Amino acid sequence: MALAIGATLLAYQSRNTGLLVGGAVIGAVVGAPIGLRVAMTAVPQRTAMSHAFGSLAVALVGAAEYYRDLPGIDPFTTSVLSGEMVLGFLTFTGSCIAFAKLQGLIPGKPLLYRGRMFASLGTLAAAVASAVYLVLNPTQESALPLLVGFALLFGFLLVVAIGGADMPAVIAILNSFAGISAAGLGFVLDNRLLIVAGALDGSSGLILGIIMSRAMNRSFANILFGGVGGAAKEAGVAQAGRVAQTYTPDDVATVLRDARSVIVVPGYGMAVAQAQHVVKEIADFLQGRGVDVKYAIHPVAGRMPGHMNVLLAEAQVPYEQLWEMDRVNPLFPETDVAIVVGANDVTNPAARTKADSPLYGMPILDVDKARTVVFVKRSLGPGFSGVDNDLFYLQNTMMVLGDAKKVLTDLLASMRNLRD
Ligand code: NAP
């Protein structure tokens, strides 16, 4: 951004130097502390805010360009501007709602009501109709506020009806919309940098969305219009009458003493507890005793693609010990212990067996096939999708409840004591 602003000032000898430099300073003063302080687990909502600001800026510049070119604006420019404004304004409200859901400011449950599809698609149709009217009658500026209003409303209606668990994928799709919108504006302004940056953003957001939806075995249409995650009727109910067996770190240390093969399954809870370093210490300890240790990486473990890879790399876990889901799944039946560290949904067999579950169809890590499963988490509560996990109640499951970093630190101490 500094390069772009500097180049603009040099190239155009702008008279508005104060405005540009002032804007850059305000942006840096507000943005830098947010970027530095934001927890890694909150990156999805921070990204949603960036999209909201970016798309609003693009849409507002588009509106300014339209008014500036009046009354001689041509239909082609109007059509590109109308399209990018619809995308930009809907991305703005959609991203704000995604931020509010992920930050817990509003409930993550999808807002489902009768006629929801009619209301959403009707509003989109009204936004598109306003855009078409504007293209056919470029000087009828009264259509522009209608276009803006309908696009803003559609972004709101679209995202409030999507469950919180789908927000990261929605953010990737909105990212793509914001990029396409910016690229469109680049054509109108004849700004190649904006075209390239917008196209990069648009395509990378789309690819990210495809990766996420494939990993969850869901289509874009199902994510955007499926209203998945609302009923959560399994949560809580499934626990009635069932007892999970809880154990201490000392118990787990005893089991691990006899293990020859261990697979560590990290998830969102490892990120929250920042337990990756102690996980690595435990793995090192076990490997020092000749145990075969692998890490199983689910593509949507955590809150963004690659989340676990980044954390484990930070803890200096060698890359060759990270095993992708398809490669590691056949190994679980011959594994002595699977240690699940703050992962939940990505291990939940409901994805295989319960057709009415929001998780149904998502490929999972087959930890249930290991001889013993150790779950390290704070409670018997569900994960991001709100679905109870039957694995907690199986015979071969050891639940060790507590903060992952604390539990694993105690486990490491117990293992060292046992050796001594
Ligand atoms: P998860 O299902 O959200 O479960 C994480 C578990 O961590 C929770 O059940 C929680 O249980 C536990 N936990 C939280 N804080 C902890 C702490 N300090 N110490 C120990 N445990 C803690 O996570 P996941 O298995 O990684 O699955 C990811 C979910 O995010 C999936 O539903 C996936 O579809 C969704 N998602 C991910 C992406 C992505 O790109 N990664 C994108 C879209 C959606 P307690 O509260 O009992 O501790």
- Residue burial 128-167, b: 16+ Cβ < 10 Å; e: rest: bebbebbbeebeeeebbebbbebbbbbbbbbbbbbbbbbb
Find the 340 Cα to ligand 1 centroid distance in Å.
Answer: 11
> Of 389, 202, 169, which is closest to residue 300 (Cα–Cα)?
169
**Spatial distance between the Cα atoms of 121 and 119, rounded to a whole number of angstroms:** 6
Q: What is the DSSP letter of 13?
A: T
What single string gives the DSSP state of each residue in 361-373? T-----GGGSSEE
Q: Between 20 and 413, where is the model more confident?
A: 413
Residue 340 β-bridge partners:
265, 375
pLDDT (average), residues 406-411: 97
Instruction: Give yes or no: 345 in active site.
Output: yes
pLDDT value at position 299?
87
Probe target for ligand 1 pocket from 300, 347, 379, 408, with the most ligand atoms within 8 Å of CB: 300
Residue 263 β-bridge partners:
294, 338
Residue 27 backbone phi and psi in degrees, to 5: -60, -45
pLDDT tens across 234-243, in order? 444 445 567 8
pLDDT value at position 238?
47
Find the 165 Cα to ligand 1 centroid distance in Å.
Answer: 10
Q: Between 235 and 56, where is the model more confident?
A: 56
- With tokens 């149904």, the residue in question is 360
**Spatial distance between the Cα atoms of 217 and 238, rounded to a whole number of angstroms:** 24
- Computed on alpha carbons and rounded to an integer, the radius of gyration of the chain in Å comes to 25
8 Å CB contact between 268 and 301:
yes
8 Å CB contact between 313 and 323:
no
pTM value > 0.85: no
pLDDT (average), residues 80-92: 93
Find the 345 Cα to ligand 1 centroid distance in Å.
Answer: 7
- Whether the predicted pLDDT of 232 surpasses 70: no
User: Ligand 1: which residue has its CA nearest to atom 48?
Assistant: 378
Residue 397 β-bridge partners:
373
- Whether the predicted pLDDT of 268 surpasses 70: yes
- Whether the predicted pLDDT of 215 surpasses 80: no
8 Å CB contact between 253 and 285:
no
**Inter-CA distances, 85 with 124, 127, 188, 301, Å:** 13, 10, 12, 35
* Nearest 10 degrees: Cα torsion 244, 250, 254, 255: 30
**Spatial distance between the Cα atoms of 133 and 159, rounded to a whole number of angstroms:** 26
pLDDT value at position 237?
45
Find the 387 Cα to ligand 1 centroid distance in Å.
Answer: 11
**Spatial distance between the Cα atoms of 9 and 4, rounded to a whole number of angstroms:** 9
Secondary structure (3-state) at 57: helix
Would you tell me how many other CB atoms lie within 10 Å of the CB of residue 303?
Answer: 20
Assigned token pair, 395: 């015979």
Angle at 268 between CA 267 and CA 271, to 5 degrees: 105
**Spatial distance between the Cα atoms of 3 and 7, rounded to a whole number of angstroms:** 6
pLDDT value at position 228?
65
pLDDT (average), residues 72-90: 91
Q: What is the DSSP letter of 246?
A: B
User: What percent of the chain is predicted at pLDDT more than 90?
Assistant: 55
pLDDT value at position 45?
85
**Inter-CA distances, 83 with 129, 178, 273, Å:** 11, 11, 44
Catalytic one among 345, 368, 388, 410?
A: 345
Q: Which residues line ligand 1 (CB under 6 A)?
A: 165, 168-169, 212, 216, 267-269, 272-273, 300-305, 307, 342-346, 377-379, 381, 383-385, 403-404
Helices marked H in 105-248: 116-136, 143-160, 167-189, 192-215, 220-225
Atom number, ligand 1, closest to the C-alpha of residue 302? 26
Lowest mean pLDDT: which of 188-192, 227-231, 340-344, 380-384? 227-231
